[in-house]
Amino acid sequence: MSAHPIDRPADLDVVRDSYDRVADNYVDMVLTTGIGDIRTVPWLKASIDAFADSVSGLGPVLDVGCGPGTVTAYLAERGLDVSGVDLSPRMIENARRLYPACRFDVASATDLRLAEESLGGVLGWWSLFNLPRDVLPQVLAHFARALKPGGHFITATHVGDGDRVRTEAYGGVPVRWTTHRWRPEEFVALIEAAGLDTVAELRLPADESTGPGVVVMARRNR
């Protein structure tokens, strides 16, 4: 197992409690409106399909910050050996209810102890933006070490300058978390500094539900 401990964010418990509070509303939003479901956004679905094709046959895939498990389940439908983890116990309860054939566990990205070269793929799909700026590089390096040579990492995050503190979300539920936004070139540089080589970058404009974003896929070549 990994011998590289990662710093624990000071607000981890607050963030966990916030996502527990919004979990049911978020799931209802996904099921009733399709927001958050990659099947409804062609470019995002294409990104996940490209990732699935790239990691097929390479070994287990881990969806970190899986929320209610929609992407995990989609990748399972594609035939991947995939499991999901999320900080929020309530999100995982929903994921297990919605997709009982899939494997889900409660865990923070900072608590994972992944064996080196044990995974064919890792996802951080709109799930790493709460990590503090000094912690995210540690997590990315841990993911890079966990990938087998030829394995792929895909991530999507919010783009912008500075941080945004959220005090309510998904129907006005009180929350407390910080969205750490990155410029695309800064975000790509972090991923490459972790030991991965960029394969593709997709920049997304702002829409009615979120600000601009970026999708990055990278590969471990050595």
Task: Work out whether strand 147-158 and strand 119-125 pair parallel, antiparallel, or are unpaired.
Answer: parallel
Full-model pTM: 0.95
pLDDT at residue 3 greater than cutoff 80: no
Reported as a single tens digit per residue, the pLDDT across 149-198 is 999 999 999 999 989 999 999 989 999 999 999 999 999 999 999 999 99
Strand partners, 154: 123, 217
Closest CA to 20 of 83, 72, 90: 90
Listed in sequence order, the DSSP H helices in the chain are 12-33, 42-55, 70-77, 89-98, 136-146, 184-193
Task: Work out whether strand 173-180 and strand 163-169 pair parallel, antiparallel, or are unpaired.
Answer: antiparallel
pLDDT at site 2? 46
Tokens found for residue 222: 């050595």
H or E element at residue 213 = strand 213-219
Residue written as token pair 């054939």: 101
List of domains in the chain: 12-199 (3.40.50.150)
Reported as a single tens digit per residue, the pLDDT across 152-163 is 999 999 999 989
Closest CA to 112 of 88, 82, 146, 137: 146
Residue 114: which region, alpha, beta or left (left: phi > 0; alpha: psi -120 to 50)?
beta
